[in-house]
Amino acid sequence: MGHSSASRRSRGALWGWGLATGLILVAVAAAPALSRHDPNRMNIALALKPPSATYWLGTDEAGRDVLSRVLHGGRESITAALAVIAAAIGIGVVVGATAGWCRGAVDEVLMRVTDLFFAFPPLVLAMAIAAALGPTLGNAVIAAIVVWWPTYARLVRGEVLRVRENLYVEAGRALGLTAGRLVVRHVLPQTWGVLNARATVDVGYTILFIATLGFVGLGSKPPTAEWGSMIAGARTYFLDSWWTMTFPGLALFVTVICLSLLGDAINDVVGLRGRKEAAGG
């Protein structure tokens, strides 16, 4: 039974990894090569054309190729999400590791600051920050980073508090290793599995978050292609020109689902490994 469950997890992780990697490569690396038309070139005479041999996914209200815009929009959305997660992990690791290792007054101050960010609904806080800074994709990324880093700070703090009590850390102290060396070389590496699992899931959620900011007009500026702003712009034409909203929405849905499945599979594997270690296996 255990072997069958582990096998299913492995297959799920493999499929999720393959699909997610393929989507990211297509969107980030191959978008210019796969685009048959300029994603921002407008031609009103070709507005709202249905899918055809020339325009595989049709055209939007400005006569722009939907396929090209979906591909380039994916590059914008995925690149922004990866930047958010990378920055959030960086800040979260520094804050969480410092709080968990130092404990006492330092831990109390850092965690109260972290709690301050948790006090606001994430989307409301991000919208307020993005609106204050101005509606651009870069500012939407900054707003998302502000919302996301406290989660990683809490996660890393908990892991550091757990790992710092291990015997090999005590042995390192006895050998005279500095706190910085202990944390960087021996404590933080034990948190990477949990961070990887959480980050993989969060990439999908962050793509959705960035798209939401774009949908309400706080993301990339027109005519730049971005999934959220594309869906927002297609609302008026959806009933008569279904393809204008369907394909950006489908790309967003598939990407988020694949990344979520991958993250869940990694989380299962990490949790299973942690249970084995706890049991002495």
* Torsion from C-alpha of 152, 206, 86, 254, nearest 10 degrees: 120
Res 275: pLDDT: 42
Fill in the DSSP letter of residue 50: P
Give the whole-angstrom CA distance, residue 108 versus residue 95: 12
Locus of tokens 């039974």: 1
By mean pLDDT, which of 3-12, 186-195, 202-211, 261-270 is the weakest?
3-12
> Residue 273 and residue 202: Cα distance in Å, rounded?
21
pLDDT at 86 over 90: yes
- Residue 178 has a pLDDT of 79
- CA dihedral sign of residues 47, 77, 143, 116: positive
Amino acid residing at 195: L
pLDDT tens-place string over residues 163-184: 887 777 778 777 777 778 888 8
- Mean pLDDT for the chain? 84
Q: Check if the beta carbon of residue 142 is closer than 8 Å to that of residue 129.
A: yes
Q: Can you give the pLDDT at residue 16?
A: 62
Mean pLDDT of 77-81: 89
What average pLDDT score do residues 117-126 get?
A: 93
CA–CA distance, 158 with 37 (Å, rounded to integer): 49
DSSP 25: I
What is the Cα gyration radius of the chain?
22
| Angle, CA 97 vertex, CA 193 and CA 196 arms, to 5° | 20
Average pLDDT of span 257-270:
74
Q: Is the pLDDT of residue 233 over 70?
A: yes
Instruction: Point out which residues pair with 65 in neighbouring strands.
Output: 59
In 3D space, the residue among 71, 161, 75 whose CA is nearest the CA of residue 111 turns out to be 161
Q: At 35, is the pLDDT very low, low, confident or very high (cuts 50, 70, 90)? A: confident
172, 182 contact by CB (below 8 A) = yes
Give pLDDT, residue 218.
93
> For the ranges 29-33, 50-54, 255-259, which has the lowest average pLDDT?
29-33
Torsional sign, CA 170, 172, 177, 182: negative
CB crowding 43-61: b at 16 or more within 10 Å, else e:
eeebbbbeeeeebebbbbe
Domains in the chain, please, with CATH?
2-278 (1.10.3720.10)
Segment 234-257 shows an average pLDDT of 90
Q: What are the DSSP calls for 157-217, one per residue?
A: HHHHHHHTTSHHHHHHHHTT--HHHIIIIIIGGGGHHHHHHHHHHHHHHHHHHHHHHHHTT
